[in-house]
Amino acid sequence: MSKLTSPGIREALLSELNTPSPFGGPPTAESVLSAAATRLGIAHGGRDLELALLTQWSELFRTGVLAWGQSLSSPNAPFFHLTERGREALANLTRDPANPAGYLRHLNSVAHINPIAQSYLSEALDCYVAGFFKAAAVMTGAAAERVILDLRDATVQKLAVLNRSLPTGMSDWRVKTMSDSLHKFLGGCKSKFPRALQEEFDAYWAAFIQQIRATRNEAGHPASIDPVTHDSVHASLLIFPHLVRLANSLDLWVKSDLT
């Protein structure tokens, strides 16, 4: 059996949904499934592969990317339509969280993320596409915290080499206390950053505090029945690659230029 993953099958289906029908008419379930099977190389590939494809097709309906019917005169299968969430997913298919395979490819093309953070991020994406937005928010927040912890560790090691004392709070076990201390320290160094890094620092560190961590905290410490929405988690995941790229740039600066 071909070793196909669920994200890979999902990506193939989304790609076909983003491809105009060669016949000009509205697509049907059969036409999309057939084209996706060809794209994946599993046409007539056996019952297990066909069922895997059908499972991911059903998931697109269950999680609100697709809905049955093309119009009031054709309200049922085999016709279907993209929902608002589906249109959002296809708007930037190569890197949208609704397409985990493409999202991770994009992230790994612009930044380096360690295996611990990536494991949490992968689970966040699994939760997101399954519609478990509170869980996705918590996992995205955990991945972001690991990224910040790695940057803190690199800073602590460099300060030790320079025989400089640690700023208050930088070694604290509480993530907020630690990250606030790290932000204050790096902010004090900002005038020495290259201009591009200064701009990244101003833009994306705040995104970690105001978007990713705030959404994670709303999920972990709820004050209402529905504290976390699809939109807030979607925004956190879109911001995440920028945070990792910023952390990579700061890590390089700390190791090479901090004096």
| Res 219 pLDDT > 70 | yes
Q: Residue 236: what are its φ and ψ, rounded to 5°?
A: -60, -45
Which range, of 90-94, 99-103, 158-162, 238-242, averages the lowest pLDDT? Answer: 90-94
Determine how many CB atoms are found less than 10 A away from the CB of residue 239: 20
| Res 222 pLDDT > 70 | no
Mean residue pLDDT of the chain comes to 90
Domain boundary among the residues 36, 69, 90 is at 90
147 and 71 inside one domain: no
Pairing state of beta strands 66-68 and 80-82?
antiparallel
Place 22 in a pLDDT band, splitting at 50, 70 and 90: low
Domain boundary among the residues 61, 90, 119 is at 90
Residue 55 in domain: yes
- What is the structure's pLDDT at 5? 87
Q: What are the tens digits of pLDDT across the range 129-146? A: 988 999 999 999 999 999
User: How many domains, the chain?
Assistant: 2
CA distance 133 to 233: 6
| Res 226 pLDDT > 80 | no
Domain boundary among the residues 33, 67, 90 is at 90
71 and 142 inside one domain: no
List the structure tokens of 188.
């004090």
- Among residues 49, 53, 44, 60, which one has the least CA distance to residue 9? 53
| Res 192 pLDDT > 90 | yes
Residue 95 in domain: no
Place 3 in a pLDDT band, splitting at 50, 70 and 90: confident
121 and 249 inside one domain: yes
| Res 213 pLDDT > 90 | no
Which domain covers residue 83, as residue numbers? Answer: 6-90
Give the whole-number percent of the chain exceeding pLDDT 70.
Answer: 94
Name residue 220's amino acid.
Answer: G
Averaged pLDDT for residues 150-161? 96
47 and 106 inside one domain: no
| Res 23 pLDDT > 80 | no
75 and 157 inside one domain: no
Residue 49 in domain: yes
Report CA torsion sign: 211, 238, 123, 181: negative
- What is the structure's pLDDT at 1? 40
List the structure tokens of 153.
């560790």
Determine how many CB atoms are found less than 10 A away from the CB of residue 24: 6
Averaged pLDDT for residues 183-203? 95
73 and 27 inside one domain: yes
Residue 252 in domain: yes
131 and 190 inside one domain: yes
130 and 79 inside one domain: no
- What is the structure's pLDDT at 211? 85
List the structure tokens of 209.
């505090």
Backbone dihedral region of 83: left (phi > 0), alpha (psi from -120 to 50 degrees) or beta? beta
Residue 1 in domain: no
226 and 161 inside one domain: yes
142 and 196 inside one domain: yes
Q: What are the tens digits of pLDDT across the range 83-126? A: 998 999 898 888 999 999 999 999 999 999 999 999 999 999 99
Top-confidence residue, 217 or 82 = 82
